[in-house]
Amino acid sequence: MTLATVGLGSNLDPERRLAFALDRLRALGTLTAVSSLIQTAPVGDLDQPDYLNGVARIEVDMTPEAFKQALYAIERDAGRDRTRQRTPYGPVELDLDLLLWGDAVLTFGSKPWHVPARGLLEHAFVAVPLAEIAPDERHPETGETFAQIAARLAAR
């Protein structure tokens, strides 16, 4: 079993879509923690609703590639169409990002994807919810605690 950390976000009917995502995640493994949801202003295209963001931790018995594809399926079932052109940071039905895969540092898949996700060091809307559920755990690459990362990003 691997402890995966997933970032959750939505700004189109977010309460319903995030609840849907958590229900679907429960079907993939054992949810061990879910942060509070925080309201965040949009980045980039400011002519859209605020987001709700959070983080969930789940124990799963699958490969990172299979888990990432399962996250895409959940997004798709929530109404997200990744084939439709959209602006970066535009409105989104549901965004599920694989943030951490245990304490591994790896690159995988065809995109390729990297964990830990870069957003952990760049966005308070990711770091703050993670620090709520795992404040003393350390980023696998930088060695900083998630509380330290969140405090630095929130101060911006």
Quote the pLDDT of residue 86.
67
Is the CATH code 1.10.20.60 the one for domain 2-119?
Answer: no
Q: Which residues make beta-bridge pairs with 46?
A: none
| Rounded Cα–Cα distance for residues 62 and 70 (Å) | 10
94-138 pLDDT, tens digit each:
999 999 999 999 999 888 999 999 999 999 999 999 999 999 999
* Residues in CB range of 118: below 8 A, 6 or more apart: none
Quote the pLDDT of residue 100.
98
Q: Say if CB 122 and CB 26 are below 8 A apart.
A: no
| pTM for this prediction | 0.94
Regions of the chain short of the pLDDT cut 70 = 85-87
Quote the pLDDT of residue 83.
75
Q: Where are the domains of the chain?
A: 2-119
Q: Tell me, what amino acid is at 89?
A: Y
* Residues in CB range of 11: below 8 A, 6 or more apart: 42, 48, 49, 50, 51, 52, 91, 92
Quote the pLDDT of residue 125.
95
| Rounded Cα–Cα distance for residues 13 and 119 (Å) | 23
Quote the pLDDT of residue 56.
98
Q: Say if CB 58 and CB 4 are below 8 A apart.
A: yes
Quote the pLDDT of residue 15.
97
Q: What is the total residue count of the chain?
A: 156
Quote the pLDDT of residue 89.
72
3-state secondary structure of 78: coil
